[in-house]
């Protein structure tokens, strides 16, 4: 139990240290908007408001405290099993780099901010 806690702690510190992506340019929400339209909107709807195929990402469930940015990368790279909704699972989405997903996430965060889900 102790060891597990320690491992989680080390991982958290490592993740925090890598969080900046090593001095890369800041994520680009405008590029993210285009990538979202091409790869995600078919299920998550225009401007991430949801569709019959998938949930809105502009939703409290997906605010950073519940779903941090790393989970967006993981969702795209590995897919998601159905757990929050009844739309079925999300398949992994091919052809996108981690950087692409970071830009998409920046776009979604911007929409969440506009909707008042993220308060700053
Ligand atoms: C084929 C439909 C489909 C596509 C395309 C799709 N998603 Fe999803 N996505 C879903 C569904 C359905 C869920 C909800 C699963 C659940 O929680 O029940 C989901 C959940 C998510 C989640 C939450 C993950 C979690 O850990 O709960 C994120 C983040 C996400 N999608 C991001 C994206 C992004 C970014 C793209 C585009 C690169 C994308 N999705 C494309 C169907 C899709």
Mean pLDDT of the chain: 90
What percent of the chain has a predicted confidence (pLDDT) above 70?
80
pLDDT at res. 6: 67
Question: Which tokens sit at 79?
Answer: 């897919």
Ligand 1 centroid to residue 89 C-alpha, Å: 8
Choice among 14-23, 46-55, 96-105 with the minimum mean pLDDT: 14-23
pLDDT at res. 119: 83
Choice among 18-27, 48-57, 76-85, 103-112 with the minimum mean pLDDT: 18-27
Ligand 1 centroid to residue 90 C-alpha, Å: 5
The finding on whether 108 has its CB within 6 A of some atom of ligand 1 is no
Could you report the per-residue pLDDT of 68-115, keeping only the tens digit for each? 999 999 999 999 999 999 999 999 999 999 999 999 999 999 999 999
Exposed e or buried b per residue across 55-80, where buried means at least 16 C-beta atoms within 10 angstroms of its C-beta: bbbbbeebbeeebebeebbebbeeeb
Among 37, 112, 38, 101, smallest CA distance to 72 is for 101
Between CA 33 and CA 4 the distance in angstroms is 39
CA-based angle 51:91:43, to the nearest 5?
10
- 50 and 44 in contact (C-beta within 8 Å)? yes
User: pLDDT class for 25, splitting at 50, 70, 90?
Assistant: confident
């Amino acid at each position: 139990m102790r060891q597990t806690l320690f491992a989680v702690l080390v991982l958290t510190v490592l993740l925090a240290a890598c969080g900046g992506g090593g001095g890369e340019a800041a994520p680009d929400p405008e590029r993210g908007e285009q990538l979202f339209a091409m790869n995600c909107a078919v299920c998550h709807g225009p401007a991430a408001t949801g569709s019959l195929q998938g949930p809105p990402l502009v939703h409290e469930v997906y605010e950073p405290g519940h779903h941090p940015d790393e989970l967006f990368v993981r969702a795209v790279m590995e897919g998601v099993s159905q757990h929050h909704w009844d739309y079925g699972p999300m398949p992994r989405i091919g052809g996108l780099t981690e950087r692409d997903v970071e830009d998409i996430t920046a776009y979604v965060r911007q929409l969440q901010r506009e909707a008042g889900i993220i308060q700053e």
